[in-house]
Amino acid sequence: MTDKIKVIILAAGYGTRLEKDIDSTLDEELRSRLSGIPKPLLPIGGKSLINRWLTILENLENTFDPLINVVVNQKYFHLYEEWSNDVNSRDRSTLKVNLINDGSTNNDNRQGAIKAISLGIQYRLECSNFLVIAGDTLYLDDFKIDNIVHFFKKKCGTTILTCPVNEDDVSKRGIVEVDGKTKRVLSFIEKPLPHETKSRLQCPAFYLFNEDSVAFLEAFICETKYLPLVVRDAPGHFLSYLIPRSPVFGYSIKGRFDVGGLESYLECDKAFQNQG
C-alpha cells in the first residue's frame, strides 16, 4: 500500500438553491457573473473554490497522491473539462486532475454523494487511505490539513471534522456525539430535532477514511441499493453505518463556509478576498 493518501473531491451536485438565488437577484452584474457556474468553480476571493483546495493539497505533495479524482455530473462536464485541461497543462503544478462523470443530468436523476464516493474509490483507490472533500465547502483560518492528517495517523482510524452548530441549525445538519476524552465518535444523527441530542457539534463534509472503510462502504451500498435516494445520499448515512463497526474519530475546528445559497456564497467570497 502506498503511504500517500488518495483524494476524492465531490463536485457532482446541482446547487439548486444557489441557482434560484442567483436567478432571482436584482444585481444584474452578479447574476451575469455567477449564473450557470457549478459551486466548486465559483470564484472565491478571485480564485475558484476548487482551486483553493488544489493549493492546499499541492502544499502537501508528500502526503497526498498527486492525481486528484473529481466526481462531476454530465450537465457541467464541459465546464469541468475546460478547468481540468487548464490545471493539467500547467508546467509548475505537481497535481493532475482525473474527472469521473457520474452520468447524471439534473437534480432529479442525481446519483448522490455516496455513489460519487464509490465511483472515486473504484478508480485506483484499493487498499488506500483516502480523503473525501465536498467541493462546495471551505473552512476558517484554524483549518490546518497537516494537523488533521497527523491526528488521523495517530488515531489509526477514520477521521471526520466537528465544529459548533447554532441551536437553530441543529435540525438542518448532521450532528455527531463525541467522547470528549478519546475523541471517538459515538453516534451520527442526520438532522435531529434539538431535543433528540445534547450534542451541538456538526459534521462538515471532509472525511479521512482508512483503507478498512472501503469494504464497509461497499457493504453499505449493497445493503441500501434498493432504498430511496434520501436514505443513502448524504455521507452521514454511511457514517451512521460505519461508527458501530469501525473506529471513527472527531477532529475539532472552529467552523466552515458552506456555499449553499447566495448569502453564504457572498460571505465566503468576502472572507477570502485577502487570502490569495
Verify that 109 and 32 share a domain, yes or no. Answer: yes
| Banded model confidence at residue 121, pLDDT cuts 50, 70, 90 | confident
| Banded model confidence at residue 1, pLDDT cuts 50, 70, 90 | very low
Which cell is 119 given?
Answer: 465511483
Verify that 131 and 187 share a domain, yes or no. Answer: no
Q: Which domain holds residue 204?
A: 139-256
Verify that 87 and 220 share a domain, yes or no. Answer: no
Verify that 241 and 180 share a domain, yes or no. Answer: yes
68-108 pLDDT, tens digit each: 999 999 999 999 999 999 999 987 678 999 999 999 999 99
Contact 203, 173 (CB under 8 A): yes
| Banded model confidence at residue 133, pLDDT cuts 50, 70, 90 | very high
pLDDT above 60 (res 2): no
DSSP three-state, residue 178: strand
| Cα angle 7, 192, 258; round to 5 | 40
Average pLDDT, the chain: 93
Nearest by Cα to 175 from 159, 191, 161: 191
DSSP string across 211-250: TTHHHHHHHHHHHHTTS-HHHHSSHHHHHHHHTTTS-EEE
Verify that 149 and 103 share a domain, yes or no. Answer: no
150-160 pLDDT, tens digit each: 999 999 999 99
- Give the rounded percent of residues in the chain with a pLDDT score beyond 90: 82
Verify that 208 and 231 share a domain, yes or no. Answer: yes
177-232 pLDDT, tens digit each: 999 999 999 999 989 999 999 999 999 999 999 988 988 999 999 999 888 888 77
Verify that 53 and 98 share a domain, yes or no. Answer: yes
What whole-number distance in Å separates Cα of residue 43 and Cα of residue 34? 8
Which cell is 109 given?
Answer: 436523476
Residue 43's domain is classified under what CATH number? 3.90.550.10
The CA radius of gyration of the chain, in Å to the nearest whole number, is 18
Verify that 43 and 131 share a domain, yes or no. Answer: yes
What whole-number distance in Å separates Cα of residue 92 and Cα of residue 156? 34
Verify that 146 and 132 share a domain, yes or no. Answer: no
Contact 194, 167 (CB under 8 A): yes
Verify that 146 and 238 share a domain, yes or no. Answer: yes
What whole-number distance in Å separates Cα of residue 209 and Cα of residue 166? 27
Verify that 85 and 143 share a domain, yes or no. Answer: no
Verify that 247 and 270 share a domain, yes or no. Answer: no
Q: How far is CA 161 from the centre of its chain?
A: 11
Dihedral of the alpha carbons of 7, 199, 256, 18, in degrees to the nearest 10: 90
Per-residue pLDDT at 125: 55
Contact 267, 258 (CB under 8 A): no
Question: Residue 134: which H helix or E strand, with range?
Answer: strand 130-134
What is the domain count for the chain?
2
What whole-number distance in Å separates Cα of residue 213 and Cα of residue 5? 14
Per-residue pLDDT at 91: 74
Contact 186, 135 (CB under 8 A): no
Which cell is 4 given?
Answer: 500517500
